[in-house]
Homo-oligomer: A and B are copies of this chain.
Amino acid sequence: MSRRGLLFILSGPSGVGKGTVRKALFEKEGNELKYSVSMTTRNMRDGEVDGVDYFFRSREEFERLIEEGKMLEHAEYVGNYYGTPLDYVNQTLDQGYDVFLEIEVQGAMKVKEKVPNGIFIFLTPPDLGELKARIIGRGTDEMSVIEERMEVAKQEIEMMSHYDYAVVNDKIELAVERIEHIIESEHLKVSNVLAHYKEMMKEW
């Protein structure tokens, strides 16, 4: 059975703990998900490996890939591009692996335009009061900065309606389990196994 892998996208509001949950998911025994390697135009640092930490590319090449529609999503940060190369994702899916992206809400919506059959998981705080506390608790920021972050978080939560699943991040282990069960269930969808059964029927 060489079925194509599935593309999972984990996203959610800033400060909800996406990175921590993704890390815990990948560290679990038996994890077979492939984390998508990002592409960047920034310089390679000591110890970094091209194709492992990032795909390191020139600004010209990165811009060419954007123009050709070969970046699933991208953003510019401190003068450098960062993004998810479409070809790498497709090759990994073709090899039968599930690919897992952990990205910001804005990026996730761009991915949805290009891969509508991706499975979009929205990580949410246990309650919005909790998220508020996390935003305020980050440091000694001015009230206007906090309010701006609150407004951004509110807008991000409203993006939930574009996602397939909402996973509450009340406890990391529980959030990870929920995501694992979503991944399992998606593989049990008839749309993903029908071709295989039709093949078996021929032999009957």
Which A residues are closer than 8 A to B by beta carbons? 122, 124, 127-128, 132, 150, 154, 157-158, 160-161, 163-167, 178, 181-182, 184-186, 188-190, 193-194, 197, 200-201, 203-204
Contacts and interface: CB of A to CB of B under 8 A. Distances in A.
Contact of A190 (B165, B190, B193): B165
Contacts of A185: 165, 178, 181-182, 184-186
A202 to B, nearest CB: 10
Contact of A165 (B181, B188, B204): B188
Contacts of A157: 197, 201
B194 A161 contact: yes
A157 to B, nearest CB: 7
Identical copies of this chain, number? 2
A168 to B, nearest CB: 9
B165 A189 contact: yes
17 contacts: A124-B197, A128-B200, A128-B203, A154-B204, A157-B201, A160-B190, A160-B194, A160-B197, A165-B185, A166-B190, A166-B194, A178-B188, A181-B181, A181-B184, A182-B185, A182-B188, A184-B185
B204 A132 contact: yes
Contacts of A182: 185, 188
Contact of A167 (B154, B188, B200): B188
A178 B188 CA distance: 8
A128 B178 CA distance: 32
Contacts of A188: 165-167, 178, 182
Contact of A161 (B160, B165, B190): B190
A14 to B, nearest CB: 15
